[in-house]
A = this chain, B = another copy of it.
Amino acid sequence: MKLARPLPPGSTIGILGGGQLARMLALAAARMGIDCHIYAPEVDSPAFSVSAHHTVASYTDFCALAEFAANVDAITYEFENVPGETAEFLGRRSVLAPSASVLKIAQDRLVEKTFISSLGIEVALFAAVDDERSLEKALTLIGRPSILKTRRLGYDGKGQTRIDATTGVALAWRDIGKTPAILEGFVPFETEVSIIAARGWDGALVSYDVTQNEHENHVLRRSTVPARISAAMAEEASRIAAKIIAALGYVGVIGIEMFALGNRLLVNELAPRVHNSGHWTMDGCTVSQFEQHVRAVCGWPLGSTERHSDATMTNLLGDEADEWERLSGEAGTAVHLYGKHLARPGRKMGHINRVTPRQA
C-alpha cells in the first residue's frame, strides 16, 4: 500500500526489529510526536523501553504480524533480512517503506549488483557462483585476489572469504557453506566512503555529506565527515545515490557503501535502512538520518541535510562502552549508549560523535 496522506503527529509507526537502529528511530519519532510500535522476537530488545507499544513475536508469526499491521499507520524496519514473505504480507495490509520489492533486491548480492550495474553505475567485477565448477569459471574471468560471498544473509564480514593466489577452490567453496554465491573482484580501494540519502513518497530526494569509513575486522570502527575526497567525487556520489533510489522508487533512508579508487567510485553495497555510517548526523545536522527516515516514511517534508559541524563517529564495541564516564567528560563528545545489558566482545554497545566547528 502507498501512503494516502502525511501521517499527523499522534500517528503510530511500526518498526520490525528492536535493536539500536530501531531505538534511535523511536527517539527521533518521539521528538516529532509520532508513537512507535516495535515488533521483535527478543524480549529484551533495546527499543522497547523508549516506545509506546511493542510485540514480542517471530518474524514469521503471521497472526502476530496481522495484528501488528492492524494497529499501526505505516511500517518500516531496521534490518534488511526481513523474510520476503513477511514483507509482502505486511505490504498488502499496511503501508510498508521501503517496499518489499526493494528488499528483494537488497537481500541478494547478485541481484543487487546486477541492478546497480544495469543503471550504468560501476561495481566490482562479479559473477554468479553455484558450485565448484562455476567458481572455477568465475575465477578465470575475474582473477585473483577476489572475494567469494554468499548471495544472502551476509553482514559484518560474515558469509565471505578471500581467494588469494594460492587459495584452493574447494576450500573457498566449503568456507562459505556451499551456498549460492557471488564472486567479486578485489578492489584495491584507497578510501571507503558511504552516502546516506533519502527519498519521499513524492519523489523528493536529499543526501547527506559523504562520509569516510574505516573498518576493523569487517566491522565499522570510525566514520568521518567530511570525507577526504574531491568535491567532484562527492557530487558524483550524490548523483549515484539519486540514480539508485529513484530507480528503486525508494521511500526512506538508504545507506550506500562505495569504494574510491583514483577518481572512480564503485558501489559496494546498499543498506535499505538507516546506517551505522550515518550516526554522525545525530550531532552534525539539525535533522538526523533517523528523523529523516521517519519523515520520509510518514510523508512529511524531507529535512535539510546541511552539516552544521564536522564530526567523527566511533563505534563502542563490547567493553569499550565501559569508558562512558571518561568519554562523556570530553568536551565536544556526544555519547550514545544503546541500553544493551550484555557487552559481548565486538557487540555494538554505543557510539560517540566527536564534533568540531565546520571548517569548509
A interface with B by C-beta (< 8 Å) = 6, 8-10, 23, 26-27, 30-33, 35, 48-52, 283, 286-287, 295, 300-301, 303-304, 306, 308-309, 321, 324-325, 328-329, 331-339, 341, 350, 353, 355, 357-358
Contacts and interface: CB of A to CB of B under 8 A. Distances in A.
Nearest to A50: B30
Contacts of A23: 30
Given A49-B30, A52-B49, A286-B332, A325 B339 contact: no
Given A286-B283, A328-B295, A338 B306 contact: no
Given A27-B31, A300-B325, 10 more contacts: A8-B324, A9-B324, A31-B337, A32-B336, A33-B338, A35-B339, A49-B52, A286-B333, A286-B334, A300-B324
Contact of A50 (B50, B283, B306, B358): B50
A303 B324 CA distance: 13
A49 B35 contact: yes
Contact of A9 (B26, B30, B339, B353): B339
Contacts of A32: 324, 328, 335-337
Contacts of A306: 331-332
Nearest to A32: B337
Main secondary structure of the interface of A (DSSP, over half): mixed
Given A9-B324, A301-B329, A33 B339 contact: yes
A5 to B, nearest CB: 10
Copies in the complex: 2
A106 to B, nearest CB: 28
Contacts of A358: 357
A316 B55 CA distance: 33
Nearest to A334: B286
A280 to B, nearest CB: 12
A345 B116 CA distance: 53
A8 B321 CA distance: 11
A287 B49 CA distance: 22
Contacts of A10: 339, 341
Nearest to A309: B308
Given A32-B337, A355-B286, A328 B308 contact: no
Contact of A27 (B6, B30, B353): B30
B8 A287 contact: no
Contacts of A324: 8-9, 32-33, 300
